[in-house]
Amino acid sequence: MIRLYDYVLSASCYKIRLMAALLGVKLKHEAVDFHPGRAHKSVEFARLNPAGTLPVLVDGDLILTESTAMLVYLAQLLGRDWLAPSDPKSAAQVQHWLAFSGRLAASLGMARLHDMLLYEGNIDAWRAQGHAALRELEAALSERRFAGGVWLVGDAPSIADIACFPNVALSQDGGVSLDAYPSVRLWTRAVRALDRFVEMPGIHRLHELHPAPEVV
């Protein structure tokens, strides 16, 4: 069974939990005391991942420590539809958004860690970089909408969408509002409307897609 070293409040860990849920695969979760225990910085954890970051995915002798690589692995293994079309343009666009998701983590993700887990750093700079990234995402998604599209690459959701979704959907935890980004908001709704979508603290499902509890 594929094991995921996991922390419930981590956007990057959620990325993998969401991908696994959408693919319909169960992972074995190994909870890591990221906060306040900082177990991911321990000597023991460094044997698994010298970089001391989460998540870590282990399948047999394969150890992956980058979340975008985990998305590629899970999709190649279990659901190649999620890789987007393999023509040169689409393949390059997927790589673009996988790399771009790193910029989201370095801006919106850090702003959230600052506000939620008291990370020290330049919060104004993180928020400004977050807005700059959201402007790029908004422009790209608006162009996709003009062409009749919904997703970042191709006609179906792909690992590109899943890579970018968590830190965008959690941006308000870091003091960055999505009010000024209508195409981004509609795209986050499209992700949340996917069959088998799972939540994390700060990202709720679309309640309107389910009956009101009292009339069940």
Partner 1 sequence: MTPRWTATGLSQDLPKAVAMAGHWQGQDLAVWRSATGRLQAWNDRCPHRGMRLSHGFVRGETLACIYHGWVYGAEGGCKHIPAHPALTPPATIRVAVFACVEQDGVIWVAPADTLGAPTALRGLQPLRSISLTCDVAAVLLVEPALSGEDTLRGLVQIAGQACEVCLLVQHGASGLTLHALCAVGADRIAASRWLEDLRRRAERKGTA
Q: Which residues bind partner 1 (CB under 8 A)?
A: 135, 138-139, 142-143, 145-147, 177, 179-180, 182-183, 185-186, 189, 204, 206-208, 212-214
CB of 182 to partner 1, least distance (A): 4
Q: Which is nearer to partner 1, 15 or 103 (CB)?
A: 103
By the 8 A CB rule, do 157 and 82 touch? yes
CB of 187 to partner 1, least distance (A): 11
- Range 114-120 contact pairs with CB under 8 angstroms and sequence separation of 24 or more: 114/174, 115/173, 115/174, 115/175, 116/9, 116/173, 116/174, 117/9, 117/35
CB of 78 to partner 1, least distance (A): 32
User: Greatest CA span in the chain, whole angstroms?
Assistant: 52
Q: Which is nearer to partner 1, 72 or 191 (CB)?
A: 191
CB of 148 to partner 1, least distance (A): 11
Position 116: which residue type? Answer: M
Q: How far is residue 144's CA from residue 127's CA, in Å, rounded to a whole number?
A: 25
Q: Which is nearer to partner 1, 86 or 146 (CB)?
A: 146
